[in-house]
Structure 1
Amino acid sequence: MSLPAWRAHLRDPSFRQGARDMLGTGLGIGAWGLVTGVAMVKGGLSTPLALFMSLTVYAGSAQLAVLPLMVAGAPLWVVWLTATCVNLRFVIFSSMWRSYFAHLPRRQRMALGYFSGDVIFVCFMQRFPKPRPDPAQLPYFWGAATTNWLAWQVPSVTGIILSNVIPLSWGLGFAGVLALLGILLSMLADRASWLATAVASTAAVATFALPLKLNILVAIAAAVTAGLVTEAGERALRRARARSAGGDA
């Protein structure tokens, strides 16, 4: 993005609105980032490698999912498969972003993909529920994305650099779990997401004894399947109702 375009976004009221909408989850994102930063170094990564991972991967759930596998010496294919499964939701996000940003140049769309996040997606879709381009959408996205990126990276880098002076006795792991739960609950807005969460929780506990944290993969697969089946059933029900209403008319 050019400097004049960025300055124009900064002056746009929608940019400030996006930033404000993300402030509510900033504390939880920050706690999660701090936990992840500490966990990466405590798990055996060097400080430069942990910094590289934080800045390039920029996917907290995937990072936390693969760290136990890396510490346990899991095969590389298990690590990659776990990260891929955790991030499959971004394929769905991207397909929905397309209705709003398909007209932009590829370089901008790639930047949007990097800065995209779960909470950003939820806030954006709540503010712009109709899938059609709007001049306020891009400034809003960048306001939310900038706030979210800083809320994650600043604590994450802090945790990486200060990992040797931050004791585990502070209970950061529990704080991270609470932060994740708070973010998760704020995103449960429909029947499919509630069902997927319940199925994932049940599957993770039921398969906890599997080696190499494979219960995470099982839980992800079960949740995705449950969510897709539920959404397909709801779409079929809506089509049946629409046909019925049309026949009655």
Structure 2
Amino acid sequence: MRWGKGTRHPGDRWFLEGPASRLRELARLIRIGREFIRGFRALRDVEPCVTVFGSARINDGEAYYELARETSRRLAEAGFTIMTGGGPGIMEAANRGAREGGGRSIGCNIELPHEQRPNPYLDLFLEFRYFFVRKVMLVKYSHAFVVFPGGFGTLDELFETMTLIQTGKILDFPVVIMGREYWQPLFDLMRGTLLAHGTVSPEDLERLTFTDSPAEAVATILAALDGDPALPRKAVPGAAATT
């Protein structure tokens, strides 16, 4: 199912370009409101999700692609819906794993000047004009977040999610970071600089789980969500195989 294919235009840029007439600003707000409503309608009956973030530039067969695919397959087998940005790379791997695991696969894509094609493993595909609307959808319906190697967009998604958790804007959902070697310099920065200068607290870093193991990722999420009434019936502690 595909929602929201529209004419391409520089949506966020127009919105952020500075002062405009009241009529134009009102028209923009109406467009934004309609985009939120469209997303809420499409996702209102979605099962508890795990959102997967990661690069669009990692290809089929590469180690991180296969890691995302296997992790998402296990999460789907545990009863979770997998939600991604709907594009290629890690997003494709996660949606592919969800389908292989018998779970539901959702993509929330973004209109860009260069076409970002939806991957072929989606049960539900939504396309948004505005990054901030898309990011709300990627967070609103998820009970956990798994972050794979990526660039600026992935870092933006990771740190915005952590900020929402840190400030209590969303619940203290588990955040699992996959790919120790890739992310080690970032972890060293957070621990050696941010924590050392007191700009984050030890509790902030304790919210993050770094691992290369799909089994550990799933077990971490299940343990953190134990007792959550919204947890899918299949998703009970011990459901993930320890291999």
TM, length-normalised to structure 2: 0.28
Structure with the largest fraction of helix: 1
Structure with the largest fraction of strand: 2
TM, length-normalised to structure 1: 0.27
Higher relative contact order (CA 8 A, sep 6+): 1
